[in-house]
Structure formats: C-alpha cells, structure tokens
Amino acid sequence: MKKSSLFRWVSILLFVVAQFNLNAQNSPTALSKDPEWKVEVDKPNAKVGDEITLTFTSIIEKNWYMYSNDFDPNLGPIAAEFTFTKNTGYERIGDVKPIGAKKHYEEVWKGDVSVFNGKAVFKQRIKILQPNVTIKGSIYFQECNEISGVCMPPYDKEFEVKIKATADQAINTDVKVNTEQAKDYNQTQESIIDSATQNLHSDTAVIENEVTQAILPVREPKTNKDEGIFMFLLIAFATGLLAVITPCVFPMLPMTVSFFTKKSQSRAQGIKRAFIYGFSIISIYASLGLIFAFFGLGPDFGNWLSTHWLPNVLFFIIFMVFAASFFGMFEITLPHGLVNKIDGKGNIGSFGGIFFMAFTLVLVSFSCTGPIVGSLLIEAVGGKFIKPLMGMAAFGAGLALPFTIFAVFPSYLQNLPRSGGWLNSVKVVLGFIEVAFALKFLSIPDIVYHWGILDREIYLSIWIVLAILLGMYLLGKLKFSHDSDLPYIGVPRFMLAIASFSFAVYMIPGLFGAPLKGLSGLLPPMQTQDFILNTESGGHSQEANNTKAQSTIKYSDFLHSPHGINAFFDYKQALEESKKQNKPVFVDFTGHACVNCRKMEEYVWAKPEVLKRLKNDFIVVSLYVDERRELPESDWFTSPRDGKVKKTIGEQNHDLQITKYNFSAQPQYIIIDANENKLTESTFFDTDEQRFVQFLESGKQAYQKK
C-alpha cells in the first residue's frame, strides 16, 4: 500500500507528459472574408527622378497566417509573389522586401519558412522616370489557419497607382479602389487618406497618397498550445500532486494536519481552516502566475520565445540546472531570513496567520518545487495572459488538495508511507525527465539555425541512454549522493524500471530511420537523420495497386501521389477512367501547401486498410487548388461564379470545388460516380482510421447498388 502511492503519483505524471501534444482541433475552415490590401506612397512631394517607397499592407484575421516571400519557394508553401506590369515610366529598385516576417522551421516542409501574423507588410523602392506614370501589378499569396492547418486557395489581387509628376510638380495619386473594401479596411485600422479618387474596381487594392505610418495593433495568434490549455492544466495539476511526495513537502503533511486538528475548537472549525489553508496555497501560486503572465503579452513575444536561439538556449540551461539540483549536486533555496520572517507571522491565530502558514509551506518547499514551478512557467510564459495564471493555480490546487483532504479526514494519515529514501528517488526520477525535456529546447534553435548539434540520431541516442540509466537507477544499480541504501526492489519500482527499459528499446529502431510516430512532436525531423536503413518503404504498407490507368495520366510529369497510388490529376480524365474501369471516383481536393492534407496522407492514407481500398476499389483524383501551371488557352473558361477567366490548373480545380461541392478549404474528400452523382457526403480532416474506412466502404457500397 505504501509503495503503491509512489507508483500512482509517478504514473500520473508519465501519463500526462505522454499526452502533452494532444490538442483540440476545433477551428474555422475558411476566412470570414477575402483578404484586402492597402498600398501607400511615402513621399507626397516627390518629383520626377526621386525615389519613392510603395508599402503594401494587409490585415490578417485572427488564427490565420500569410506566407512571406523570403524563403525557398521549392519547399512547398505558396510564397507571396509580386508582379509588376512593365512600364518605362518607372524603375524598380531591388525586390519587394517583407517587413516583420517571422522565420521558423516547419517539419512538414522540412525547412525554414517565413510567415506574417496579424498584419503583412511589404515594401518596394521605385524610381520615377516620367510624369503620368501608372504602376500596375498583382499580389499572389496564400493564407492558412494555424490551428487546423487548413489553407485557403491562393489569392491573386490586382493593384494600380497613377502618379502625376513633373520635375517641378509633386506626386499626386489617382487611385482606383473598391469602395467597400476601403470602408472595411478603415474600420479595421486608423489611417490618413487625402485626395484619393475612389472608383469601383473589382479586386483592386486600396491606395493612399499620403502616409502617416501608424503602429498598427497586431492580433495575437491563437497557437496550438493555447488550444491545448486543458491538457496543460491537467499537467500542472498532476505536477502539483507529484510535488507533495518530494522530500521538502511530504514530511509537512502530518505536522500541518495536526495543527488544524489540535488547534481548532471544533471539527467544523478545523475543516474551515483547512479549506482556507488550501485556497491560500492556490492564491499564492496564482499570484506568481499573474506576475509571469505579463511577460507573455505582446504580439511578437510568443513567436520570438518559441523560435529564437536566445530564450531556448537559456531554457535549456535552466532545465539542466534544475536537473542538477534534483540529482543532489546542490539545493535551490530562498534566503533563511525571509523564510523565518514569514514563518513567524504564521503563529497569528487568524485567517491572516493561516495565509502566512501557507506562504511558509511555499517558501520552505521551494528547493523541491522550484524546478517544477520553473518548468511550468517556461511552458506557460509564451502563451496568452490566462495560461500562466491558470497553470500556477492548477499547480497550487494539486499541491493543496492532499493537505485539505487529510485535514478533513485525518484518519487517512495512517495509510501514508513514512518519510525515507524513496522521497529522494522521486527527485532523481524528475531529474532524468528534466534532462530529457531540456534537449527539446536545445533542438529548436539547432533546427532553425542549422547548427547540426542535435541531429535526430544523436538526440535519440541521448534519450536512449537516459532511459537506460533511469532503469538502472530504479533497480538500484546507480546511486547518487543523497540516496539511501536499497536492500531490495519493490514491485512499483521494478515496474517503472521495466517501463524505462521498454521505452529505450522502443527508441532504438529510430536510430535506423523508423518514424517513431509516438514521439514525432518531440524528436528532430527525419531529414536530420544521417542514416535510414530502408528508404523504399518508408514504413508504409506496400499494397499491390490494381487500379491501372488505361491511358496516359495528365500532369503526372509534375504532380505525384503518395504511397504508390495511381492517382489522376484531371477531373474529366478521372470521370472517363471511371467509366472504363467501372469504379467509383474518390475526389481529393488538396494543395501543395496544405499541412492537413499531408497529415491525412501520412497518418490515414498510409494505413493498410485504407491504402488497399484506395489502390483497388477507386479511381483516385487529386485536384490541387494551388497548382499554378497555366493551361493552353483553348482550355481556359470564364467562371459563371465570379466572371473571371480561369487559366491555371489550380484556379479551375478551386472553381470546381466551390461551384459543385460548396466548399473552399482543403482537404475535402467526396465519392462520386462517372456521371458526377454524389455517393457520399463530403468528409474533411479526420485522422480516425475507422471512420475513414467506413467512409470509403459506404461510397463503394452505394456505387455497387446503382
């Protein structure tokens, strides 16, 4: 019974840590309205021969981001692209420069990309060579949802600025704008618009001739960590419970409970004081979280904190210091004078005295709880204001709960194990966990800045060694300075040792290229692996493909399908093939820059039960809505939806998705017959294999009944 308590608390921590990367996926699948652009000219009094700056600005909706133009476009995402119509009246000086884009590593694309959150700003230097110059062009860009991973098809927005100037005349701008866009944009931000002639011009950006460059508020993005706040609070609460069985806190349980039972005149008064004591602990830790919450404010702080080398290396060092403290190298303590002063006020027989008793517990236990609290604050400080506050409150609740329960039911104290060497073992186990997670912070800048220090196999090697050493420690084969003699091994400790060794064995195939999907959120990307034993299968099922195309597949020279699926890339050709082979059509609206599309292909399509159905039972057609390859003019058409000419593969696929299937984001899957009759309703991003198999089966059965 005594040893099982240790096993129970440690098991809770291991469970919640293993679940840390599970996040809610509820988020919008489309923008509330089309993005709008404003173009500004910086010099209202410039003359012919002068250089001016065009500033392109677009407000980005909350939870969405826009790709910039300062990264390798071959990675996959759609980089922003500015096209200027040739004109002898002006000369471009250099290229369009992004202002304030944030660069980070994206594992899906295996490289560094730059994005804007809240607001996108680009600048272009222009030299005026002639009067009466018209600067025309277009902006091609894409926005994606940072919670769900859904990407909108690329937008192509036109802009036009008319500049009238002579050697002695200042520039005036004749602006063609969409008046409704201008109205909406100016409701979003404060700006100065003078002498702007506004005329209706569809899909044309707003141009302003006088510029007062205001500092616009950047909307703080809602990250996956914010969406997973429930899991974070669960971890914080569990670590609070775990802190109770550290050497600094556990011995105080019977003393504190004894105070409330012996000093209270009645049981009701004792229970009341116990609850006040518990709430005092929670309020103290919540106050600490409130202080740190202010460090999480600011539009760029979260991004800087998560990707820049300085905070991540600092956090790595802090975690290693915490680990050294847990291993017994030194103790992190507060000044004794402060502790004694607070403890003296705890003798007051009032609610204030109870509060100072709780404060004394917080201070005295700091050498054990400090590293735990510090780790939680590091995780929380990059989040929104509420996250550090609620995280510390949850930790305090976990720490206070046992004190309150035992004060209400003091007889339960008899079931507690006595203090001893096992308490120090808890600290050492936490030390191993601290070292393991410290590597994650060092890995982030290593990937972003290409240091090459922690390649995947090196990272895994360290984790494997840590797991083996932890197992040896639990078996008593490794001893630290503060550990007591271990004459025999208890069953809970033995089971934890088995778990640790099993974890090490699980990671070993990763050294040879195994994907280790269970750790995908914690390990460096596969591209940093120097050696992969089997590069052909890639860990995917090698199902035979019985759907052989009876004609040459259009666009297969530059478009490809994963896992050996003989997919088509042209809608009409897929329908013709369906008639020839008498099979239903699996329509996949996808995109090159669609993160969730890649996740579905990796985690769902690759499953044997799914893959064999896609290969054998369907004509698969993957329709890329962001493919910019221009079609021959004979294949162009004017869409009745918006009256625009659709020239590219992506434009035509996206128009088909909206007009026929009433959706605009990806991925979208639907099963039809050769006559375009729907056999199923659409399904979207869902990594549940069984539901996807049921979706495929329902489409197959509906086709067979026709």
Better pLDDT: 360 or 142: 142
Q: State the Cα–Cα distance between residues 369 and 375, nearest whole angstrom.
A: 10
Least confident of 24-38, 403-417, 460-474: 24-38
Percent of the chain with pLDDT over 70: 66
Better pLDDT: 366 or 701: 701
74 — pLDDT class (breaks 50, 70, 90): confident
pLDDT higher than 80, residue 54: yes
Task: Tell which residue, 394, 62, 9, has the closest CA to residue 231.
Answer: 394
Helix (H) or strand (E) holding 581: helix 571-581
**Amino acid letter, residue 563:** H
Q: State the Cα–Cα distance between residues 703 and 465, nearest whole angstrom.
A: 54
- Specify the pLDDT at position 160: 87
548 — pLDDT class (breaks 50, 70, 90): low
pLDDT higher than 70, residue 217: no
Least confident of 12-21, 453-462, 499-508: 12-21
Q: State the Cα–Cα distance between residues 469 and 475, nearest whole angstrom.
A: 10
CB–CB of 95/89 below 8 Å?
A: no
Instruction: Using alpha carbons only, give the angle 534, 539, 541 rounded to the nearest 5 degrees.
Output: 120
Least confident of 22-36, 94-108, 458-472, 479-493: 22-36
Q: pLDDT tens digit string along 383-401?
A: 555 777 788 888 888 888 8
Task: Give the C-alpha distances (Å, rounded to integers) separating 465 from 10, 186, 317, 505.
Answer: 20, 59, 20, 11
DSSP-assigned letters across all residues of 319-381:
HHHHHHHHHTS------HHHHHHHHHHTTSSSHHHHHHHHHHHHHHTHHHHHHHHHHHHHHHT
Mean pLDDT of 64-80: 85
Least confident of 232-236, 448-452, 474-478, 562-566: 448-452
Mean pLDDT of 580-588: 94
List of residues 6+ apart from 304 with CB closer than 8 A: 102, 311
254 — pLDDT class (breaks 50, 70, 90): low
List of residues 6+ apart from 218 with CB closer than 8 A: 117, 118, 119, 299, 300
Q: pLDDT tens digit string along 589-617?
A: 988 656 677 778 878 898 899 999 999 99
pLDDT higher than 90, residue 628: no
Task: Give the C-alpha distances (Å, rounded to integers) separating 120 from 59, 66, 142, 148, 609.
Answer: 6, 7, 12, 21, 43
* Beta strands across the sheet bearing 102-106: 102-106, 111-117, 64-67, 143-145
Q: pLDDT tens digit string along 443-489?
A: 877 765 667 788 889 999 999 999 999 999 999 888 887 777 778 88
- Specify the pLDDT at position 128: 85
- Specify the pLDDT at position 576: 93
Q: What are the start-end ranges of the E strands in 107-168?
A: 111-117, 119-128, 133-141, 143-145, 155-166
Task: Tell which residue, 643, 640, 626, has the closest CA to residue 589.
Answer: 626
Mean pLDDT score of the chain = 74
540 — pLDDT class (breaks 50, 70, 90): very low
Q: Burial, 94: exposed, middle or buried (Cβ in 10 Å; 0-12, 13-18, 19+)?
A: exposed
Nearest-Å Rg of the Cα atoms of the chain is 31
Single pTM value for the model: 0.42
Least confident of 7-16, 246-255, 404-413: 7-16
Better pLDDT: 643 or 205: 643
Task: Give the C-alpha distances (Å, rounded to integers) separating 486 from 134, 428, 429, 493.
Answer: 85, 15, 16, 11
Q: pLDDT tens digit string along 644-663?
A: 888 888 889 988 988 888 87
Mean pLDDT of 132-149: 83
Kindly report the backbone phi and psi dihedral angles of residue 106, in degrees, each rounded to the nearest multiple of 5, phi listed first. Answer: -115, 120
CB–CB of 398/243 below 8 Å?
A: yes
**What number of residues does the chain have?**
706
What are the tokens at 678?
């729907």
List of residues 6+ apart from 28 with CB closer than 8 A: 63, 145, 148, 150
Least confident of 193-207, 333-347, 511-525: 193-207
DSSP 494: H
Spell out the domains of the chain, with CATH numbers in brackets. 2-20+228-419 (no CATH), 38-208 (2.60.40.1250), 562-704 (3.40.30.10)
- Specify the pLDDT at position 165: 66
Handedness of CA 198, 204, 209, 210 (dihedral sign): positive
What are the tokens at 381?
């400080």
**Amino acid letter, residue 26:** N
What are the tokens at 338?
């402060």
Q: pLDDT tens digit string along 266-315?
A: 667 777 878 888 888 888 888 877 776 665 544 335 445 555 678 778 87
Least confident of 210-219, 242-251, 551-560, 661-670: 210-219
Task: Tell which residue, 356, 400, 394, 354, has the closest CA to residue 373.
Answer: 394
CB atoms within 10 A of CB 704: 10
42 — pLDDT class (breaks 50, 70, 90): confident
Percent of the chain with pLDDT over 90: 19
- Specify the pLDDT at position 551: 66
Mean pLDDT of 203-208: 40
pLDDT higher than 90, residue 434: no
What are the tokens at 641?
């939806």
CA 101 to chain centre: 17
- Specify the pLDDT at position 692: 93
CA 655 to chain centre: 30
